[in-house]
Amino acid sequence: MKYKMEHLINRSYEAIKGRGLIKHDTLEVEFFLKMKEELKEISSAFGDEQHYIEECIDLATVCFMQIVHLGYNPIIEFEKVVLKNEKRVINSDITK
């Protein structure tokens, strides 16, 4: 089953909100602390590929949730980063 990423992000946000883990007054620092927790889990999962991938996605999810919570569209913000990286490739001399 294929989904657009934006649809999945919005479903995730609503599910996490529905669990009471994100509320209208959730602070940025709470997302930051959750990111630190996920980084520790990534570190612990290193060497177990499936678990490692799952923890990486958990971290990405927390990042996306914070972006949504701040009122931004993570797809648009991600596209900005992609464009910036593509521009860096164009502007760099990769033959060095």
Q: How far is CA 6 from CA 11, 33, 72, in A?
A: 9, 24, 12
* 28 inside domain: yes
The predicted-structure confidence for 21-47, as pLDDT tens digits, reads as follows 999 999 999 999 999 999 999 999 999
Give the per-residue pLDDT at 63: 98
Q: Domain for residue 85, yes or no? A: yes
**Is 39 contained in some domain?**
yes
Quote the domain boundaries for residue 15.
5-91
pTM: 0.86
Specify the pLDDT at position 90: 85
Q: What is the pLDDT of residues 53-93, one digit of tens each?
A: 999 999 999 999 999 999 999 999 999 999 999 999 988 76
